[in-house]
């Protein structure tokens, strides 16, 4: 086993229960792996750093699984030259995975067949695609779901990043304006209600002071409270 350089475990339906038990312990002694194949196993997630002790690993096949994140990339994978994560359930690439791929440098990544999204929420990922040294296999054929739900070519979108950023900022500004308008409407509604109910509010205010004698005189027993108000029309008639 110590001279084993290629380990093929594809199509065994290992799934998450077995993979969660593996951790680093099962793989840490097999330090001579160059190629590891875990494709078509129904794997939905892998422990962070599960491959961190495979310092000689250069090719990793994880295609045809159900991965939703790339947490397993954490660790030392400096010699990685090919990573196949095609036909999984990846909609975005999280920050830790981006940092890990940046650290690896020149590596070929196969992302084909993933339900990638290219909405404003993935703007940071789209910018990352533009600036990194990572090569993506079949990049011209990669597609993603845009803001309006349509499918667009990822490569075409990357060439129009400036326009994408303008559209995203336009959406942010529009949402901010709508929120400001709603808050303003709410405040004006409260002010209008207070003005409409001003006499009732004043009555409640003075009723609350009925047991307070601001002039120091002896408090008089009162059976009924009354508050009279006159409109400008009544004043004119008097």
**pLDDT values of the chain reduced to their tens digit, one per residue, 238 residues:** 556 677 777 877 777 555 555 544 545 555 567 888 989 988 888 888 788 778 888 999 999 999 999 888 876 678 889 999 999 999 999 888 888 888 887 889 999 999 999 888 888 888 888 877 778 888 888 889 887 888 888 888 888 777 777 778 787 788 889 999 999 999 999 999 888 888 888 877 777 766 565 554 555 555 555 555 555 555 555 5
Q: How far apart are CA 98 and CA 130, in angstroms?
A: 12
- Predicted local confidence at residue 216, as pLDDT: 47
What pLDDT, on the 0 to 100 scale, is given for residue 26? Answer: 45
Residue 229, pLDDT score = 55
Burial of 85 from C-beta contacts in 10 A (0-12 / 13-18 / 19+): buried
Phi, psi for residue 172 in degrees, rounded to 5? -60, -45
Contact 147, 121 (CB under 8 A): no
The per-residue pLDDT for range 65-116, each reduced to its tens digit, is 999 998 888 766 788 899 999 999 999 998 888 888 888 878 899 999 999 9
Nearest to 43 by CA among 21, 61, 17: 17
Contacts of 24-27 with C-beta under 8 Å, sequence gap 24+, read 24/49, 24/50, 24/52, 24/53, 27/51, 27/53, 27/54
Q: What is the pLDDT of residue 89?
A: 94
pTM of the model: 0.65
pLDDT at res. 104? 83
Instruction: Give 93: exposed, middle or buried? Use CB within 10 Å, 0-12, 13-18, 19+.
Output: buried
Q: Would strands 108-110 and 82-84 be described as parallel, antiparallel, or unpaired?
A: parallel
Helix (H, G, I), strand (E, B) or coil at 74: coil
Per-domain residue ranges of the chain: 6-158, 160-209+224-238
Looking at residue 64, its pLDDT comes to 94
How many degrees, rounded to 5, is the angle at CA 101 between CA 153 and CA 69? 70
- Of the candidates 64, 56, 81, 70, which has an alpha carbon nearest to the alpha carbon of residue 6? 56
Q: Which helix (H) or strand (E) holds 60?
A: strand 59-61
Q: Which segments of the chain does DSSP mark as H helices, in order?
A: 15-22, 25-28, 95-104, 123-131, 154-159, 161-196, 198-208, 232-237
Q: Between 3.40.190.10, 3.40.30.10, 1.10.1040.10, 3.80.10.10, what CATH number should domain 6-158 receive?
A: 3.80.10.10
């Amino acid at each position: 086993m110590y001279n084993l350089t290629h380990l093929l475990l594809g199509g065994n339906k290992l799934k998450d229960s077995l993979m969660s038990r593996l951790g680093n312990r099962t793989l840490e002694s097999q330090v001579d792996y160059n190629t590891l194949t875990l494709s078509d196993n129904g794997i939905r997630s892998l422990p962070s750093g599960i491959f961190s002790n495979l310092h000689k690993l250069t090719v990793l096949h994880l295609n045809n699984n159900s991965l939703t994140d790339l947490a397993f990339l954490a660790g030392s994978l400096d010699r990685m030259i090919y990573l196949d994560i095609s036909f999984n359930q990846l909609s975005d690439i999280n920050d830790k995975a981006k940092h890990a791929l940046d650290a690896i440098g020149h590596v070929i990544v196969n992302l084909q067949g993933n339900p990638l999204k290219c909405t404003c929420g993935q703007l940071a990922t789209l910018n990352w695609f533009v600036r990194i040294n990572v090569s993506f296999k079949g990049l011209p054929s990669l597609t993603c779901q845009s803001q309006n739900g349509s499918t667009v070519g990822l490569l075409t979108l990357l060439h129009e990043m400036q326009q994408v950023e303008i559209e995203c900022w336009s959406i942010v500004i529009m949402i901010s304006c709508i929120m400001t308008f709603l808050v303003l409407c709410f405040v004006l509604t409260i002010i209008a209600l207070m003005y409409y109910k001003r006499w009732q509010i004043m009555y409640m205010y003075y009723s609350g002071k009925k047991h307070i004698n601001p002039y120091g005189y002896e408090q008089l027993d009162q059976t009924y409270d009354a508050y009279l108000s006159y409109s400008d029309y009544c004043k004119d008639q008097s």
